[in-house]
Structure 1
Amino acid sequence: MTKRLTTVLLASWLPLAPALAAAPAPCPPATAGVSDLGYSSYLDNGAIRGSNIDVLEELQKRSGCKLTVRWYPRSRLYAQFFSQQLDLTGASLRTAERDRYGTWLPYTYTHFELVLLNREAGKFRSLAEFVARSTARLNITRGITYSAQTQAQLDRLQQLGRLEYVNDYSVVFRKIQAGRAEGTLAPATIHLLNQRRFGMVGQMSVSSVTESPRTMVGLYVSHKVAPEVLQRYADALRSIVADGTMQKFYERYLGAEATQRLYHDDARDILDALPPPR
């Protein structure tokens, strides 16, 4: 995956609806940062695509706020956000550190899964079992936040010499393909794209592990963004989730079965976590 910065002006893609164009308080243009996260955001011949880009495009349409999207290596994305070079980040898990710099607005789910070459796969119900009963090596990327329980097991793997951090998921799967690792920990949005991209469909098995339950993912909006603009983003995201548009975005990339595994119940907890509508 190239580390060059790629910029897309979403405003050039979408004419604003007349009702939004007539809004009494237009918001200033904003910049959102994204990085390599499989079908959430990926580079396709220089263009940034993915469900996260679809969300930002729809956010612009429904809020009336022009957005520019820029591509960063995962390890640089939050450094840019923390230094106030970005107004929004896409596809972010919530952390206490990030909360110091922005407001988190959830819009979907993610679920990190243990993905192994078939010859290494077993009936692992937890990462702890995998650590104890396997000799397989994992590669994961820098800049990803995991649950405390997951990180504890990853630390054990690293101490055993069975874990390596790399810059992005294309490197992860390239190394698996080359025999320098046997698996990774990644959500379906990431591992499905890379399995298809590297011709590994049917060669890998996926297991859910107890240390990594389904969790919400959202946008971080910088504290420098005006409260009324933040509210417009929140209201737009609420409508995207409530009317099923978000699930349709996921079905476009993952298919109905994988999307249903994520949205096995309604999205009420996402709606409850968003600021109340104005």
Structure 2
Amino acid sequence: MLSRLILCCTLLGIAGLGGAEPRNGCKQLRVAFYEDGALFYRAADGGWTGIDKDVVDELARRLGCTIEASVDSRVRIWAGLSGGNLDMSVSALLLPEREKIGRFVPYMTGRNFVLLHKELSGRLHNMASFLADPQYKIAVVKSYKHGRAYEDWLSKLRAQGRVFETADHLSMMRLFKLGRVDAVMATPTTWYPLVRQEQLAGTYSVMDWAPRENMVSGLIVSRQNIDEATVARFSHAIRAMREDGTLRRIFERHTDAERAGQMINF
């Protein structure tokens, strides 16, 4: 309810600004986050934390920006960016159709994996074996992109009615934990907090069925609202955070040293 109220206030605050020129500078940024594992999650004290939040907070500190934050689903965030109701969002993948909406500032790399119930790993060795047996189903988060190989595979599964589309990663992982689906698409940052909390310990296997499809993700900054010079400042600040070790420390804070080393190679 609070996140919706914040977003509604954001929408009211920009009413009547349609057609305005992009702003120069980042005095106040309307940034939308979405809950997703180590990227953005509830801390023990009930507050929000995660890689994405720490990256944005550090960026704002270095550039003197004020952040007006909201939390929403990925689908509504993309709609807000497209309609000019948001200035920026986080951990987005660079796709040709998205370049019309915003400019990208990369800050990490990752790869999608398939999480299987452990007892299935002995019989399902690749995408082809999963596809060949109609009894198996998979869950994904609606609007997420997973790379060309996985998207081709998922399109075939969708045609057979074997893909569950969920609103967020928590709903997806709940289906997996309850046994409603046999597999989920996930990144290490998605499942790492659950492993650390032992909610899934010993119950799943990680299948790397598209090992060459590393994907770079980062900020998406509205073309409609923020000018190119300001985005260049964001990019310069992110590079500085990488060079001085700040990004690696952020990644390590929410995952581990090995994973942080992989994520920094963008």
Please report the TM-score for the alignment, with normalisation by the length of structure 2.
0.83
SS in 2 for 1:189: helix
SS in 1 for 2:119: helix
Looking at structure 1, the residues matched to 263 and 232 of structure 2 have their Cα atoms a distance apart, in angstroms, of 26
Range moving further from structure 2, 98-107 or 130-139: 130-139
* Deviation at residue 88 of structure 1 after TM alignment: 0.7
User: What is the alpha-carbon root mean square deviation over aligned residues?
Assistant: 2.6
1:149-188 mapped onto 2 (5 Å cutoff): 149-188=149-188
* Deviation at residue 201 of structure 1 after TM alignment: 1.6
| Unmatched runs of 5 consecutive residues or more in structure 2 | 8-23
Looking at structure 2, the residues matched to 256 and 155 of structure 1 have their Cα atoms a distance apart, in angstroms, of 35
| Structure-2 change in CA distance of 1:49 and 1:6 (3 Å) | farther
Counterpart of 2:214, as a letter, is R
Looking at structure 2, the residues matched to 198 and 69 of structure 1 have their Cα atoms a distance apart, in angstroms, of 30
Range moving further from structure 2, 100-109 or 198-207: 198-207
SS in 2 for 1:161: coil
SS in 1 for 2:4: coil
Aligned to 2:16: none
Counterpart of 2:185, as a letter, is L
Q: How many residues align?
A: 248
| Structure-2 change in CA distance of 1:211 and 1:155 (3 Å) | farther
* Deviation at residue 261 of structure 1 after TM alignment: 4.0
Deviations 1:237-259 (A, max 9, x none): 11112222212211112112333
Counterpart of 1:246, as a letter, is L
* Deviation at residue 185 of structure 1 after TM alignment: 0.8
Identity %: 23
Aligned to 1:90: 90
* Deviation at residue 117 of structure 1 after TM alignment: 1.3
| Structure-2 change in CA distance of 1:145 and 1:41 (3 Å) | same
Looking at structure 1, the residues matched to 97 and 124 of structure 2 have their Cα atoms a distance apart, in angstroms, of 32
| Structure-2 change in CA distance of 1:158 and 1:63 (3 Å) | same
| Unmatched runs of 5 consecutive residues or more in structure 1 | 9-24, 271-278
Looking at structure 1, the residues matched to 162 and 150 of structure 2 have their Cα atoms a distance apart, in angstroms, of 15
| Structure-2 change in CA distance of 1:122 and 1:32 (3 Å) | farther
Deviations 1:165-217 (A, max 9, x none): 11111111211222211220110101222445571122111121227621111
Counterpart of 1:260, as a letter, is G
* Deviation at residue 154 of structure 1 after TM alignment: 0.6
Looking at structure 2, the residues matched to 123 and 235 of structure 1 have their Cα atoms a distance apart, in angstroms, of 48
Counterpart of 1:73, as a letter, is S
Deviations 1:125-165 (A, max 9, x none): 64234323684321111021232321110112223333211
Counterpart of 2:258, as a letter, is E
Structure scoring higher RCO (CA < 8 A, sep ≥ 6) equals 2
Deviations 1:76-98 (A, max 9, x none): 11001111111111110011222
* Deviation at residue 47 of structure 1 after TM alignment: 2.6
Q: CA contact under 8 A between 1:113 and 1:212: conserved in structure 2?
A: no
Looking at structure 2, the residues matched to 159 and 52 of structure 1 have their Cα atoms a distance apart, in angstroms, of 34
| Structure-2 change in CA distance of 1:135 and 1:192 (3 Å) | farther
Q: CA contact under 8 A between 2:92 and 2:219: conserved in structure 1?
A: yes
Looking at structure 2, the residues matched to 26 and 87 of structure 1 have their Cα atoms a distance apart, in angstroms, of 12
Counterpart of 1:63, as a letter, is L
Counterpart of 2:40, as a letter, is S
Aligned to 1:32: 31
Q: CA contact under 8 A between 1:75 and 1:143: conserved in structure 2?
A: yes
Q: CA contact under 8 A between 2:113 and 2:210: conserved in structure 1?
A: no
Looking at structure 2, the residues matched to 96 and 26 of structure 1 have their Cα atoms a distance apart, in angstroms, of 26
Aligned to 2:21: none
